Amino acid sequence: MVTITYPNVLLDALEIGVMIIDETFEVRYWNQWMEINTSVRSSDIIGKNLHAFYPDIDYKVLSRKIRTTLRLQSPTFYDASLQNRFIEIPRTKITTSLLKYMQLQVTISPYDVEENLVMVSIYDISDLHELKLTLQSQMEKISELNSELHRDKMIIDANLLIIKIDSECRIVEATQAFLEFFGYQSENVVGSKLAEVFGDASVDFDTVQICDAIASQKKWSGEVKARLHDEEQVWFDAVVTPFNEENDAFCYTVIFNDISDKKRIELLSITDPLTKLYNRHKFNEVFENMVQRRHWDENHTFGLIIADVDYFKRVNDTYGHQIGDKVLIEVAHAFSETIRIGDILARWGGEEFVCLLPAVDKAKALYVAEKLRLAVEQLDIQNVGKVTASFGVTIFTAGDTQESMMHRADSSLYRAKENGRNRIECL
């Protein structure tokens, strides 16, 4: 065992403050750390009362702690977690400014019980405390962010139609808004395949495009259509986004944005209000696109039909405009029921209708026109009876423009009228 000959040297070398005081707070020892950090020299304070230098200490509490230490011969402590409850020591750290004074951990240990002396050890735990404060502040921020996240999640859940699906197109999660929109319960949806959920009789939803996007593991967006229980048709702008779960499993979110209103407005802008066929504006747009396509040749061409209801002015004059409109509606309906899928039918204006026939030759175009003529001829319209229509047909040839085709179809129609009406002519 080594005898410590110079205990003062040892105490001065420690990176803690050490003072020895008695029960009346008279200072008996003041180490170098205390001198340096408090700017109070040991020669000035030793033999004096601590109260003269530090009047703000709660001496009643200190007295009790000293008494406990001496009686129990065991250390007592000041709480180090809140503000300093002992002496204030200014902090010299410049790079951080959270604490103006050192955060102290104060331990009062028995020194000489018979002489009623205790040793007060002061540890500077400012760095630790700063870290704690920073951590607390970060935790508060995280808590705030979590609250915001939760709030956002609630808003999303209540307002946005979103589902999460796995790579097998099985629904993993669905927002409340989604469930309410389609009238489903969570338990009937989660765990089921998308096609199964929308394949039931209640909702007619074409899920093929979404499942195709998932099969190709790519981001996809597009329009999808659904028919709800009440037969209402709705349109969605759907966005499929793949993402990796924490467990590296591949999942997808599908966000449905209801664009039905936009679609309805869009439809209104291209629809003839009376006959519900495409209007002239939409027809011209499609017509222009078809003319500009480069791959038409003699074997792959398209046709144009112009139809005009015969003696329509007479109908209007005899039965009035309301009946005239009814005739136009019936004729438009007959045309709609007769044309092929992919043909573009529109009301050109007045009692004139136009129809674009993709991928037809002259014979096929004449065949379609004949079917249209017969469809009108077979109508038996209330108050009016039988009506007929005349047809001008033409086929796209190299160098044709919209105007040239319209001109030929018009001339054909004129010829059909000249030649007795209720017939077809082709130029």
Partner 1 sequence: MHQNGFTDDHLDMLRELMNIAMGNATASIADLLEAFGKMHIPQIMISDMEGLDGYIQQSIPKDQRNYVTKQLFGGEFSGEFLFVISEESAIHLGHHLYDVDQPSDGDILDAVIELTNILSATMISRLTEELHTKVQFFVPSTEVVDGNALISQEDIINYHRIIIISTQMEFQHQNINGQIFILTKDGMIGSLKDLIDRKLEELYA
Q: Which of 28, 51, 67, 415 binds partner 1 (CB under 8 A)?
A: 67
Q: State the nearest-atom distance from the C-beta of 37 to partner 1, in Å.
A: 20
Residue 75 vs 242, nearer CB to partner 1: 75
- Which residues in the 294-313 window bind partner 1 by CB under 8 A? none
Residue 75 as a binder of partner 1 (CB under 8 A): the answer is yes
Cα separation, 116 vs 23, in Å, equals 6
Q: Which of 48, 51, 85, 170 binds partner 1 (CB under 8 A)?
A: 85
Residue 60 vs 295, nearer CB to partner 1: 60
Residue 65 as a binder of partner 1 (CB under 8 A): the answer is yes
Residue 78 as a binder of partner 1 (CB under 8 A): the answer is yes
Number of chain residues interacting with partner 1 (CB under 8 A)? 23
Question: Measured between alpha carbons, how far is residue 310 from residues 314, 372, 373, 386 in Å?
Answer: 9, 14, 11, 11
The two tokens of residue 139 are 């935790």
SS3 assignment, position 105 = strand
Residue 9 vs 113, nearer CB to partner 1: 113
Beta bridge partners of 121: 18, 107
Q: What is the DSSP letter of 340?
A: P
Q: State the helix-helix crossing angle for 260-270 and 280-292, rounded to 10 degrees.
A: 90
Cα separation, 338 vs 334, in Å, equals 6
Residue 145 as a binder of partner 1 (CB under 8 A): the answer is no
Residue 15 as a binder of partner 1 (CB under 8 A): the answer is no
Residue 105 as a binder of partner 1 (CB under 8 A): the answer is yes
Beta bridge partners of 244: 250
Q: Which of 3, 5, 83, 382 binds partner 1 (CB under 8 A)?
A: 83
Q: Which of 37, 42, 68, 316 binds partner 1 (CB under 8 A)?
A: 68
Q: State the nearest-atom distance from the C-beta of 65 to partner 1, in Å.
A: 7
Cβ atoms within 10 Å, residue 227: 14
Residue 81 as a binder of partner 1 (CB under 8 A): the answer is yes
Q: DSSP string covering 268-299, please? A: HHHB-TTT-SB-HHHHHHHHHHHHH-TT--SS
Q: Which of 82, 94, 201, 341 binds partner 1 (CB under 8 A)?
A: 82
Give φ, ψ of 217 to 5 degrees.
55, 35
Q: State the nearest-atom distance from the C-beta of 132 to partner 1, in Å.
A: 11
Closest CA relative to residue 254, chosen from 306, 309, 214? 214
Radius of gyration of the chain (CA): 46
Q: Are 34 and 18 in contact (CB under 8 A)?
A: yes
Query: Which H helix or E strand runs over 208?
Result: helix 208-215
SS3 assignment, position 234 = strand
Q: Which of 61, 133, 215, 267 binds partner 1 (CB under 8 A)?
A: 61
Q: Are 91 and 100 in contact (CB under 8 A)?
A: yes
Q: State the nearest-atom distance from the C-beta of 216 to partner 1, in Å.
A: 42
Q: State the nearest-atom distance from the C-beta of 16 to partner 1, in Å.
A: 13
Q: Which of 37, 42, 107, 202 binds partner 1 (CB under 8 A)?
A: 107
Residue 71 as a binder of partner 1 (CB under 8 A): the answer is yes
Q: Which of 24, 44, 56, 77 binds partner 1 (CB under 8 A)?
A: 77
Residue 101 as a binder of partner 1 (CB under 8 A): the answer is no
Residues making contact with partner 1 (CB under 8 A): 58, 60-61, 64-65, 67-68, 71-83, 85, 105, 107
